[in-house]
Chains A and B, each alone.
Chain A
Amino acid sequence: MSKFGFTINKPRVIDYDLADKRVLNYVLKNEPSFNLCIFCGSCTATCSAGNFTDFNIRKLKMFIRRGLVEEIGTEADKCMLCGKCFLVCPRGVNNRNIVLKVREALTKIESHEL
């Protein structure tokens, strides 16, 4: 009887000590402009994919920064690479390449290369 009362699917607290930084580090290494994001949300607001589905690229980036890799699932696959997010970004973050690098990192994790 170690658990009782209720169970939760996700941990309530982001335990940063357990953060999975593999995707973060891979993206930072291959697309350093990821460092420049201030999470203003312009990218999400303008997103072409966001017109059709609940894709939120800012949130995706934030989850990667927080090491919540398990929670990002297939989010990065929704991006159409149209490039609007770069055109509105006040920091010049190369979001399209971030998406490509996130996909790469996830593939590498699946094949135990990361």
Chain B
Amino acid sequence: MNYSHFVLPFTIGLIVLLAYMLVRFGVWIYKLDSDDKQRILKNIFSIKSLQAIKEIFTESLLHRNIFKTNKVLGYMHMSLAFGWLLLIIGGHIQTWIFYDRLSNPIYIPIFFEYFVHNKAGMLFGEVLTFTMDLILLFILTGVALAYFKRFYSKLFGMKKTTNLKLGDKFALASLWLIFPLRLLAESTAASLHNTGGFLTQNFGNFISGLIPVSFFEPVFWWAYSISLGVFFLSLPFSRYMHIPTELLLIALRKWGVKSKETFDAFADVELHACSRCGICIDPCQMSSTGISKKTPASYFLKSVRDKETNSYDALNCLMCGRCEDKCPVGITTTNQRLAQRINLANERQGDFSYLKDLNYQIKTDVVYFAGCMSHLTPGITRSMIKIFRKAKVNYWFMDEDGSACCGRPQKLAGNLEAMKQLMDFNKKRIVESGAKTIVTSCPICYKVFSEDYKLEIEVLHHTQYLNRLVEQKLLPVQADSKKVVYHDPCELGRGAGIYDEPRKLLTHVATLVATKHEKQDSLCCGGSLGNLEIEAANRSLIAKDVVDELSKPNPDVIATACPLCKKTFIKVSSVQVLDIAELIAMSIPEKNEKSGERKKITVLQEELV
């Protein structure tokens, strides 16, 4: 007996799903641009594919990243995903052994206990039965946690869970039923034929006292098969589409396909790989402060999938990158948001034809570009000038009398064309100066200079530059007993990966104390240029939270490395807020400095005469 009608829902569902996935994946890959296709061709038959399989195993099955964030949530996902796979593998092994052939109808391993009632003499028969029961129990504990999570999401360290649409409800309901129904089906079968393991046999014996098992056995097998079928058929229309899509995403990434700022097929794969697990909700400060519940990436990506994006939602995000850092699937949420901003940008992007050549020939070694914001923090620019002079650097303060903006704010608003106009203007001036290095005090400028300008020369944020000066002993500094905490600016930290230089610098001049949110986990000050919609008062709301957190170790100074963070904090902080450049400038031994200053003034007077 190798067939029964009840296997049809499962079999049809599975075949339809596989066919659908084949077409869907094919279209995605077809739509990638030719460079990406070349990359895939180059890497598909290399070690990269093995690495992809390894990552699929650790992430899609074991859910290592979710484990890192939350152990209970990680266990829940692992028991369902990995457990299910083990169950399928186990079913196949049983089938291979029992039928003694490798090729069998696809439904047999799934409904093995229905078709096989006499395992006597079967190799490892009892061991396998025991193992299969154990795996089922493992999965059922995960299912129980899932039930529990829906009602008590706080247990999982998450305040809110994501909302569901119709396809999700079908898929979720069927997924929740699959394993309990399998338990019932196998248990009733076990009680009728005495073939169960420790779980199914005992449970089967137990329910045989409550219900007429011979009547219910086929009912449960039907229900089990239907729940599987419904799950497979509703999967493409539900958030569970993320399961197969994530596999493709991992493979594409390993094959060298990269996220871009404009929306492409890869972005679409990412979009559908979002499981809406909700891990991005709590780290989102727009959400945790109650300013905007709609901002977290999970909701935003959903609105993009459903083609319901609008410019307000796209612009009402700090672009701090916290969600991207926490995303267990590795979706580039910042680029996703940027892509929508670019799509929604107005045709009137800005016209800077008034920027004319300034016609002065300056030759220098180092260009110092303070950045627009730094003009409102003279403490920073003055410190940098003092340092350049002290280290006897041949520098040119490019934007001393104000300058064209670096272009990054245009990009953040989705205005790529306007950004290009500004970049062209600035780039020409930088190149013509003949400098080998450009140093900026603003992380926003740093990001665009290093990523978009494609400069042939070295681009450094002042923390990197100062760290080099100090370590090469070109700048004398003296440590003191000040207790300092460091706030990573978003664009410098998560945005550009610069975490170590600022910390090294601070340890040269003060006692650096750790806070709750360090490096990748650092908070956004709230002043972000990335959010074009947020109200002033709400910026302060965020800043207050962050300052409170930074003030907990009772520091003498809150240090940061961004003029915008500094200004945002000063509004709400009772602790002194200083840029690292200021702390370094202050720590230059005073004696030498004074005589230098005096000399400069005399020189000036001579010049005047």
The docked-state distance in angstroms from the alpha carbon of A37 to that of B81 is: 56
The docked-state distance in angstroms from the alpha carbon of A15 to that of B379 is: 48
Asked if B532 contacts A100 (CB within 8 A), the reply is yes
For B568, the closest partner residue in chain A by CB is A87
Asked if A84 contacts B354 (CB within 8 A), the reply is no
Asked if B402 contacts A48 (CB within 8 A), the reply is yes
Is A53 positioned at the interface, with any CB of B under 8 Å from its CB?
A: yes
Is B497 positioned at the interface, with any CB of A under 8 Å from its CB?
A: no
Asked if B373 contacts A81 (CB within 8 A), the reply is no
Asked if A107 contacts B348 (CB within 8 A), the reply is yes
Is A66 positioned at the interface, with any CB of B under 8 Å from its CB?
A: no
Question: A78-93 CB contact bits vs B (8 Å, 1 = yes)?
Answer: 1111111011110011
Q: Given the complex, which residues of B lie within 8 Å of A96, measured CB to CB?
A: 409, 413, 532
Q: How far is the CB of B420 from chain A (nearest CB, A)?
A: 13
Is A25 positioned at the interface, with any CB of B under 8 Å from its CB?
A: no
Asked if B354 contacts A80 (CB within 8 A), the reply is no
Question: B537-555 CB contact bits vs A (8 Å, 1 = yes)?
Answer: 1000000000000000000
Query: With A76-B348, A94-B536, A100-B413 given, is the CB distance from A82 to B405 under 8 Å?
Result: yes
Q: In residues 144-190 of chain B, which contact A (Cβ within 8 Å)?
A: none
Q: Given the complex, which residues of A lie within 8 Å of B402, measured CB to CB?
A: 48, 51
Question: B335-357 CB contact bits vs A (8 Å, 1 = yes)?
Answer: 00000000000111111101110
Query: With A46-B376, A80-B422, A84-B375 given, is the CB distance from A94 to B535 under 8 Å?
Result: yes
Q: How far is the CB of B343 from chain A (nearest CB, A)?
A: 14
Q: Given the complex, which residues of B lie within 8 Å of A103, measured CB to CB?
A: 346, 348
Query: With A76-B348, A100-B413, A100-B532 given, is the CB distance from A48 to B403 under 8 Å?
Result: yes
Q: Given the complex, which residues of B lie within 8 Å of A49, measured CB to CB?
A: 352, 354
Is A56 positioned at the interface, with any CB of B under 8 Å from its CB?
A: no
Is A77 positioned at the interface, with any CB of B under 8 Å from its CB?
A: yes
The docked-state distance in angstroms from the alpha carbon of A81 to that of B409 is: 6
Contact of A87 among B352, B373, B404, B422 (CB under 8 A): B373
For A92, the closest partner residue in chain B by CB is B536
Is B410 positioned at the interface, with any CB of A under 8 Å from its CB?
A: yes
Q: How far is the CB of A53 from chain B (nearest CB, A)?
A: 4
How big is chain A's contact interface, by range?
Answer: 20 to 34
Asked if A81 contacts B405 (CB within 8 A), the reply is yes
For B536, the closest partner residue in chain A by CB is A92
Query: With A76-B348, A80-B404, A81-B409 given, is the CB distance from A97 to B533 under 8 Å?
Result: yes
Is A104 positioned at the interface, with any CB of B under 8 Å from its CB?
A: yes
Is A74 positioned at the interface, with any CB of B under 8 Å from its CB?
A: yes
The docked-state distance in angstroms from the alpha carbon of A103 to that of B348 is: 6
For B413, the closest partner residue in chain A by CB is A81
Is B306 positioned at the interface, with any CB of A under 8 Å from its CB?
A: no
Asked if A83 contacts B529 (CB within 8 A), the reply is yes
Query: With A48-B402, A84-B375 given, is the CB distance from A33 to B346 under 8 Å?
Result: no
Asked if B373 contacts A84 (CB within 8 A), the reply is yes
The docked-state distance in angstroms from the alpha carbon of A93 to that of B401 is: 25
Most chain B CB inside 10 Å of its own CB: which residue of A49, A100, A104: A100
Is B415 positioned at the interface, with any CB of A under 8 Å from its CB?
A: yes
Query: With A82-B409, A92-B535 given, is the CB distance from A107 to B346 under 8 Å?
Result: yes
Question: B35-54 CB contact bits vs A (8 Å, 1 = yes)?
Answer: 00000000000000000000
Most chain A CB inside 10 Å of its own CB: which residue of B376, B402, B413: B402
Q: Given the complex, which residues of B lie within 8 Å of A30, measured CB to CB?
A: 312
Q: Given the complex, which residues of B lie within 8 Å of A77, measured CB to CB?
A: 348-351
The docked-state distance in angstroms from the alpha carbon of A93 to that of B410 is: 19
Q: How far is the CB of A104 from chain B (nearest CB, A)?
A: 5
Query: A84-B372, A87-B376, A100-B532 are known contacts; what are 15 more A-B pairs with Cβ within 8 Å?
Result: A51-B402, A52-B404, A74-B351, A77-B348, A77-B349, A78-B350, A78-B351, A80-B410, A80-B418, A81-B413, A81-B415, A82-B372, A94-B536, A96-B409, A100-B413
Shortest Cβ-Cβ A-B pairs, 8 listed: A92-B536, A51-B402, A53-B354, A82-B405, A80-B405, A82-B372, A103-B348, A81-B409
